[in-house]
Amino acid sequence: MRVPMNATSPTGLPPADPAMARPQTLRGLPPLAGLCGFEQAGRPGLSVEESVRRLKRHHYALRRIHRILTSRITSEPIYELKMAWSHQAWLCAEQVAAIRARVGEMREPPLGLDKVPHEGLAIAFDELQAAPREVLLSGLYEVVVPALAMALSRHAAQTHPLADQPTVRLLRIALLDLDDLQRYGRHAVSCLVAGPDRAAAQAGLETVRQAITAAGGLDGCERGGGSSDPSDLPARLHSAAPWRHDPTPRRDERFPDPYNMGVNAEVLLYDPAQPLDAKVLMMYYKRLREIDVPEMMAGILAETPGKPWGYYRDMSRQLWDEARHAMMGEVGFASLGVDWPSKVAVNFTWSLGLNTQLTPKERHAVLYFIEQGLMPRTGKRHEWETALAAGNPLAATFQDFDWADEVLHARIGRDWYVSDMPSAHEAVAYGDACWSKVLMNWERWRSEGKTGHANWWTGAYAQYCERHGKTPDPIAAQYAVSYESIRADLKDLSTASG
């Protein structure tokens, strides 16, 4: 007997035919590759068309979250948020890539992945893009990400576990990543959005909620796929005026001297007379200073439209790697007992200079020029060998992976920057030329009172020696070379991150 099609199971789909046989597997082995039982597999699932439709909705949401997070890294002062958003943007970029590939398996081009699925969704994400931090945090982590997780779970439960298994796998992996966003986000909201901030965010949140409701939910499974009546859409609040990317890097209060170029890290690192433990301390500074690479790369991503998704995925990965390098420096300072916010001046002169003086392509050229310079024997290998020679296993671990990541970054540079240039030689020369034209106003910043270029090194090194009961090495203790006249590689890499 056939079950009437209007009888539904808890998943919202027709139940299996009760007359269906349940074959025995050989010696009790799990059936159907362990995906599910016969009863579940005996229920019809979503059509290819419906599964693709939902994937396109998920794709739109993840792509917009990727862009929102990326484009706010530079101007967001709070270091922890910069780092978390670097991570989360990369997770979204990976899931977007996976969904695009899956849609491409199920449909012939054109895939229509660049279409906006519903105007309500456009409004919801435009609002978050332009919203103040409190609305962004609560709107993203309390409204949008939970709704997206629910949409993905619903899709995984309703599509056929055998017929559409590649989609189910993709959704399960995406849910793991979304769980990372949700856990971090809930905690961040509890730390940063409280009392009056929460009340002030309500109007913005309500706009986001209404816009999603008008779209029939993020996946379009409610209200018949969303309203076609424009009067159901909320009025734009934060996105009433077109949003513009803010390229100026900002830092929180743990970075009180961001123009300080008073300590030349590279000269110490390459001086054979300097003790190895001082070099490790300086390498941790170099790592933490890499915070300016996400600040710079975020601007390239935000201001470069129209590239294949592989470009955004690879660049987001590199951005996240650079954020991890910065955090490795942070961990390094903690491991040595050095209080970096009070003892170390981590500047933003590089990201500020590039973001405000160069075009996105010129910035990419500079990045490539610097990174290909990190690969020779004097670069990343030297830092790793220094950490090994210093007998510091943590520093050796960090430098080992810092080096490996830079090899990947050189490849990303070749794929997405050099490939756009007439030749590899011209790609390097152009990067050199672009870097040379960035003005680093060492003297002007001092005369304007932005910084005294104080030699913070002596204090940091003294604290390190004190914490470890060491007699300071006189050569390290008296180190006082700045970036005023001595450049790192005798060219223009003075403040280059790497």
Per-residue binder mask for Fe ion (CB under 5 A), 321-350, x = binder:
-x--x-------------------------
Alpha-carbon span 471 to 89, nearest angstrom: 45
Q: How many Å separate Cα 41 from the centre of its chain?
A: 38
The phi, psi pair for 5, rounded to 5°, reads -70, -15
Size of the site for Fe ion (CB under 5 A): 7
Report whether 323 contacts 295 (CB < 8 A).
no
Of 36, 19, 7, 240, the closest CA to residue 156 belongs to 36
| x/- map, 75-114, Fe ion, by CB under 5 A | ----------------------------------------
Identify which of residues 118 and 409 has a Cβ nearer to Fe ion in the complex. 409
**Which residue stretch of 57-65, 193-201, 209-217, 320-328 sits at the interface with Fe ion (rule: CB under 5 A)?**
320-328
In the bound state with Fe ion, the residue whose beta carbon lies nearer, of 382 and 409, is 409
* Residue 336: burial class (beta carbons within 10 Å; 0-12, 13-18, 19+): buried
Question: Is the Cβ of residue 290 or residue 314 nearer to Fe ion in the bound state?
Answer: 290
Nearest residue (CB) to Fe ion, 205 versus 280? 280
Q: Tokens 């939970």 map to which residue?
A: 146
Q: Nearest CA to 208 among 89, 146, 120?
A: 120
Contact status: 380 vs Fe ion (CB under 5 A)? no
Minimum distance of Fe ion from residue 365's CB (angstroms): 14
Which residue spans within 358-484 are E strands per DSSP?
A: none
Binding of Fe ion at residue 409 (CB under 5 A)? Answer: yes
Q: Which is nearer to Fe ion, 277 or 322 (CB)?
A: 322
User: Is cis: bond before 256, omega within 30 of 0?
Assistant: no
* Count of beta carbons in the 10 Å neighbourhood of residue 216: 20
Tell me how far, at minimum, the Cβ of 324 lies from Fe ion, in Å. Answer: 8
In residues, how long is the chain? 498
**CA dist., res. 97 & res. 58, Å (int):** 12
Q: How far is CA 382 from the centre of its chain?
A: 28
- CA-to-CA distance for 102 and 225, rounded, in angstroms? 22
Least separation in angstroms between residue 39's CB and Fe ion is 51
Positions 234 through 263 that interact with Fe ion (CB under 5 A): none
In the complex, the smallest distance separating the C-beta of residue 405 from Fe ion, rounded to whole angstroms, is: 6
- Of 238 and 409, the one with the shorter C-beta distance to Fe ion is 409
Q: How far is the CB of 464 from Fe ion (least distance, A)?
A: 21
Q: Please report how close the Cβ of residue 41 comes to Fe ion at its closest, in angstroms.
A: 47
From the list 173-181, 342-350, 404-412, 463-471, the region that binds Fe ion by CB under 5 A is 404-412
> Helix and strand tally (H, E) in the chain?
21, 0
Residues 6+ apart with CB under 8 A from 478: 458
Q: Which stretch binds Fe ion (CB under 5 A): 118-126, 130-138, 211-219, 290-298?
A: 290-298
Interface with Fe ion by CB under 5 A: which range of 1-9, 144-152, 289-297, 333-341? 289-297
Task: Determine contact, residues 145/181, Cβ cutoff 8 Å.
Answer: yes
Q: Find all residues with CB under 8 Å of 431, minimum gap 6, and list them.
A: 365, 366, 367, 368, 369, 370
Classify burial at 109, counting beta carbons within 10 Å of its beta carbon; exposed 0-12, middle 13-18, buried 19 or more: exposed
Residue 217 or 498 having the CB closest to Fe ion = 498
The smaller minimum CB distance to Fe ion, of residues 168 and 367, is found at: 367
With CB under 5 A as the contact rule, the residue among 266, 277, 295, 402 that binds Fe ion is 402
Least distance (Å) between residue 126 CB and Fe ion: 32
- Which residues lie below 8 Å from residue 383, measured CB to CB, with a gap of 6+? 269, 283, 286, 399, 402, 403
Nearer to Fe ion by C-beta: 184 or 350?
A: 350
Rounded Cα distance between 125 and 140, Å, is 9
Residue placing its CB nearer to Fe ion in the complex, 185 or 249? 249
314 lies in the site for Fe ion, by CB under 5 A:
no
- Give min distance, CB of 293 to Fe ion, in A: 5
- Minimum Å gap between C-beta 75 and Fe ion is 21
R_g (Cα) of the chain, nearest Å: 26
Q: What is d(CA 374, CA 406) in angstroms, rounded to the nearest whole number?
A: 8
Q: How far is the CB of 371 from Fe ion (least distance, A)?
A: 5
Binding window for Fe ion (CB under 5 A); candidates: 95-103, 143-151, 231-239, 282-290: 282-290
Using the contact rule CB under 5 A, the part of the chain among 170-178, 284-292, 302-310, 426-434 near Fe ion is 284-292
Tokens 């895939």 correspond to 111
The one-letter amino acid code at 422 reads P
Nearer to Fe ion, 164 or 290 (CB): 290
Q: Which residue lies nearer to Fe ion by CB, 173 or 428?
A: 428
> At its nearest, how many Å lie between Fe ion and the CB of residue 402?
4
Question: What residue ranges bind Fe ion (CB under 5 A)?
Answer: 290, 322, 325, 402, 406, 409, 498
